[in-house]
């Protein structure tokens, strides 16, 4: 059966989807084929190349490199989580491993044909999302592989004894790292909880009231417009107490996990008075299309907030929430392990 891999990449500027590839770092090692597929040889080369690396990182990094260079095969499926908007991208490996000497970074690469892109994480079970949130750069998806296969086939959008990782073979060390709860995983879980709650429990105009409340927590005066005849916006916000000094902020709220296109954004911008007297703010639980993002970058009077950014604002201003909204989103601050992922 076709293997499914999960891969993380903290360099969105590489534009993996647009350019049709996946990649990993550790460029200083050079072409992995020159090292070969022997695990001990790979661990020794990694240790020699990165002498300041933590001992526990060496077998994990070696495992990632062996998987990427020698275990991935043409026809395998790959899932690439895109953190800026909390979406997943699904592709098929089309090429053998190659070392791109002309690339400025992440020279270890494989060609990919992307099958589905921009899929909301919330479409999948909590367990599947947790598995795909592994702290390891490259890992085999096992427990929830069938859930992801079914999605692609259907086309729908629906305390153990301590062990020293440095003494383990690459695969065993990587498995521990994949299963280990981390700050990133816990944050992802909490972000998913916020999005799910706002999607399932905050219906209709109540989502508009939530956005207005969030703006008030941020220091704005905000009120929801009447249900009918709102002219393309749902909330009016401003800084001055009377609401008569510019700029006036017109807010459009979309309670959806899908992608918002430029036509919907243009409905909002069409209501704005010229000259900077009015600003537009578009808030969604989902994401924005490339065209919509381009519109947001080119217009000085427009700001787009996707689901990931919205949750970030909830985290930043949660302590200012009144009790009724804290009951809707019950959370508390805790200390968690914040070890850096074993990746590059």
pLDDT digits (tens, 9 = 90+) for 149-206: 999 988 654 433 333 434 434 444 444 344 455 666 778 788 888 999 999 888 878 9
Q: What CATH number does the domain located at 197-328 have?
A: 3.40.1350.10
DSSP calls for 211-246: HHHHHHHTT-EEEEPPSS--TT-SEEEESSTTS-SS
Mean model confidence pLDDT for the chain: 86
Report residue 282: phi and psi, to 5°. Answer: -110, 120
Q: Write the CATH number of the domain with boundaries 4-180.
A: 3.10.590
Classify residue 261 by its DSSP letter. Answer: P
Every domain of the chain and the residues it spans: 4-180, 197-328
Q: Exposed e or buried b for every residue in 265-288, given b needs 16+ CB within 10 A?
A: beebbeebeeeeebbbbbbbbbbb
pLDDT digits (tens, 9 = 90+) for 205-240: 899 999 999 999 999 999 998 876 555 789 999 987
- C-alpha to C-alpha distance for 110 and 115, rounded to whole angstroms: 15
């Amino acid at each position: 059966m076709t293997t499914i891999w999960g891969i993380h990449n903290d360099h969105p500027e590489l534009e993996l989807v647009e350019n049709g590839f996946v990649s990993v770092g550790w460029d200083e090692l050079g072409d992995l084929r020159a090292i070969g597929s022997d695990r001990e040889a790979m661990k020794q080369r990694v240790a020699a190349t990165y002498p300041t690396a933590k001992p526990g990182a060496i077998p994990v990094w070696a495992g990632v490199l062996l998987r990427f260079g020698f275990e991935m095969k043409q026809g395998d499926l790959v899932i690439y989580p895109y953190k800026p908007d909390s979406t997943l991208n699904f592709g098929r490996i089309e090429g053998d491993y190659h070392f791109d000497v002309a690339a400025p970074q992440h020279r270890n690469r494989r060609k990919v044909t992307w099958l589905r892109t921009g899929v909301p994480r919330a479409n999948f079970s909590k367990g599947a999302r947790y598995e795909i949130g592994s702290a390891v750069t490259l890992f085999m998806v096992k427990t929830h592989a069938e859930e992801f296969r079914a999605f692609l086939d259907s086309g729908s959008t629906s305390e153990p004894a301590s062990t020293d990782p440095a003494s383990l073979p690459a695969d065993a060390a990587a498995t521990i790292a994949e299963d280990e709860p981390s700050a990133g995983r816990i944050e992802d879980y909490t972000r998913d909880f916020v999005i799910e709650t706002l999607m399932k429990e905050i219906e209709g105009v109540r989502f508009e009231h939530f956005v207005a409340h969030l703006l008030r927590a941020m220091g704005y005066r905000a009120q929801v417009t009447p249900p009918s005849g709102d002219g393309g916006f749902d909330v009016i916000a401003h800084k001055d107490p009377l609401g008569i000094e510019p700029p006036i902020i017109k807010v459009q709220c979309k309670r959806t996990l899908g992608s918002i296109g430029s036509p919907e954004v243009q409905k909002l911008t069409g209501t704005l008075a010229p000259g900077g007297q009015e600003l537009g703010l578009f808030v969604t639980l989902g994401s924005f299309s490339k065209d919509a993002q381009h519109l947001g970058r080119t217009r000085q009077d427009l700001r787009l907030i996707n689901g990931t950014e919205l949750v970030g604002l909830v985290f930043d201003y949660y302590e200012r929430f009144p009790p009724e909204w804290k009951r809707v989103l019950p959370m508390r601050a805790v200390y968690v392990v914040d070890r850096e992922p074993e990746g590059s």
